[in-house]
Structure 1
């Protein structure tokens, strides 16, 4: 008797690369604990949300039966005026992750002869990098971060070969925290062939207070192979609306537009992003309040004798090693969800004041803290 579709075992299989990809693990929500308010500190979300003007846009939204402007003209013009760049140099995407996928689709993958392009990036860094690179058909070249969580730019430069098509620089680095310096980054770019696209991923740029930190826009203006990647998810508090963008010179943008997903940014999201740009002073105030909380947390950890990398994003990194899962479970038992990375460490987002205080209280009682050697 011939098996039907309802009884036969599936013979459908994905591309081999899919089975080799790591699984993206989104930050989990906190578990309910009697007597405690729960807080999510696992996804680097902005707990303050967007500015009031964005909420007004969302409340009055209409026209959802129509397709959005696939070029995001209103937002590109707003960003062009804000950054003093040509609107043609701005390409939008569904979050910075969507914009990144457009970059990889355009510049890195598997060639007609079957050879794979290479994408060089620091590791550990943004968890989605190996997934995006693998799905594009390219090969990941991961260069370990230094002991302080920063990029080893010398080692990354040495890892570039004739097969390298893209280099990803995550600054501040997620999840470890340090930002790249302007001088070190420019020295690095000068060592890289001009046919290699250098992506300066600045998802957390608004939180940086290190005066030596790199300014991706300054490098984009100077080097035709530099591309800046940014998002409205973090500082602007619009993670659920999925709005990101890249800024690069025409020699790059012409190909990004060819690889862009049509209608990736909804009309509502575009209008909300424009409203946030137009009220940027309020965004800055909210970001500064989170930076103040970040500084309070890092100072509190230092007072406890904990060793943590320089935190320039909206999170701190605890290199707990084999104690990673234990600490994450302890935080969960206190109604805090944090992001555990295997047996490497824990990333803790800066959240509400009460959540941050509770996190410090947990650390004060934990006896296996990361210490300076």
Structure 2
């Protein structure tokens, strides 16, 4: 029998933009250390997992050989009741990142004349933003966050041009932690042309405790160009099932449906999300226990003299600069994994009580901590 050789050209190359994109670095698992239980604090996962009703549902053997409802009607109706918004204003996606990709596909990219649309966002922020924007064919415009990790909304408003098609507002900002405030956000929206889509990314919304924090759903009700991103990955503990959604008014949503990935949310994910909403009081209890742990960690760091930005997500940010990689390696030696960002800083997820305590012990012994100026 004659062997068939692969005749594909050896010089196959992707689009030029792919080679210029930053690489997404997922949180790594912790190293095994003799005598210590290992904990992963690198991916902003909910260490408590989903509520019992969801676990029971997952054990029941759902039909995985059938395609799901591509419109996620059951989930959209449940969210409609939960959020008091029309179900038609909700478009589901594979996590909030999948929902974001649908927004970018619909509203930004490369135009017929070759010109690129601009997508504006704070930096540092969610590291997937520049990747998703580049793959959509658009141009990233990054505006540095302030020294305290907050969005510089004045500078962002000034950076808007006639080519700006989408603005991304991450609140609480991942990885620095602060949440946007209501009045400053509304003032910003009023300064941006009404034909620019403003996306309020609220992946960690349930963890926010700031009294004057922005409410994306309230702003979407009042401004037709405002969209909201939310997810079941964080507070609900369903990260592995990939279910998120966007909320926008009908004149915007109609285009998202055209750009939506068919069957992006599986039937299992949809039913699990609905079950979690039906038991939301338990979700709230679990989130509050993590918020309490966050408060303990932040207080412990401040007692040690560490400078920590306002933490409103399920993580804390340590601006360690050139000591970033050294500190991350040190945590690995103690069976903890954290998320290091180059030579900028370390993001540490709030995890199990034992993990958080060990993290504070490491910080107590570390002598190169970021201090207030």
Instruction: Give the unaligned 5+ runs of structure 2.
Output: none
Does the residue aligned with 2:283 lie in a helix, a strand or coil? helix
Give the structure 2 partner of residue 185 of structure 1.
185
Does the residue aligned with 1:189 lie in a helix, a strand or coil? helix
Q: Take 2:115 and 2:80, find their aligned partners in 1: how far apart are those partners?
A: 38
Q: Take 2:164 and 2:363, find their aligned partners in 1: how far apart are those partners?
A: 42
Is 1:22 matched up with 2:22?
yes
RMSD: 1.0
Q: Take 2:199 and 2:302, find their aligned partners in 1: how far apart are those partners?
A: 33
**Alpha-carbon spacing, 1:163–1:148, altered in 2? closer, same or farther (3 Å):** same
Give the structure 1 partner of residue 133 of structure 2.
133
Q: Take 1:255 and 1:6, find their aligned partners in 2: how far apart are those partners?
A: 41
Deviation of 1:8 after TM superposition, in Å, equals: 8.0
Could you give the per-residue CA deviations for residues 267-293 of structure 1, whole angstroms, max 9, x where no partner exists?
000000000011100000000000000
**Alpha-carbon spacing, 1:19–1:212, altered in 2? closer, same or farther (3 Å):** same
Aligned residues: 370
Could you give the per-residue CA deviations for residues 7-37 of structure 1, whole angstroms, max 9, x where no partner exists?
9871211000000000000000000000000
**Alpha-carbon spacing, 1:9–1:33, altered in 2? closer, same or farther (3 Å):** farther
Give the structure 2 partner of residue 275 of structure 1.
275
Could you give the per-residue CA deviations for residues 100-138 of structure 1, whole angstroms, max 9, x where no partner exists?
000000000000110000000000000000000000000
Q: Take 1:96 and 1:351, find their aligned partners in 2: how far apart are those partners?
A: 22
Q: Take 1:8 and 1:20, find their aligned partners in 2: how far apart are those partners?
A: 24
Give the structure 2 partner of residue 261 of structure 1.
261
Does the residue aligned with 2:133 lie in a helix, a strand or coil? helix
Give the structure 2 partner of residue 320 of structure 1.
320
Deviation of 1:56 after TM superposition, in Å, equals: 1.2
Does the residue aligned with 1:257 lie in a helix, a strand or coil? helix
State TM-score, norm by structure 2.
Answer: 0.98
Q: Take 2:30 and 2:157, find their aligned partners in 1: how far apart are those partners?
A: 40
Asked whether the equivalents of residues 207 and 235 of structure 1 are also in contact (C-alpha less than 8 Å), the reply is yes
Is 1:155 matched up with 2:160?
no
Does the residue aligned with 2:198 lie in a helix, a strand or coil? strand
Q: Take 1:174 and 1:303, find their aligned partners in 2: how far apart are those partners?
A: 24
Q: Take 1:360 and 1:199, find their aligned partners in 2: how far apart are those partners?
A: 35
Asked whether the equivalents of residues 61 and 268 of structure 1 are also in contact (C-alpha less than 8 Å), the reply is no
Give the structure 2 partner of residue 36 of structure 1.
36
Is 1:112 matched up with 2:112?
yes
Asked whether the equivalents of residues 53 and 276 of structure 1 are also in contact (C-alpha less than 8 Å), the reply is yes
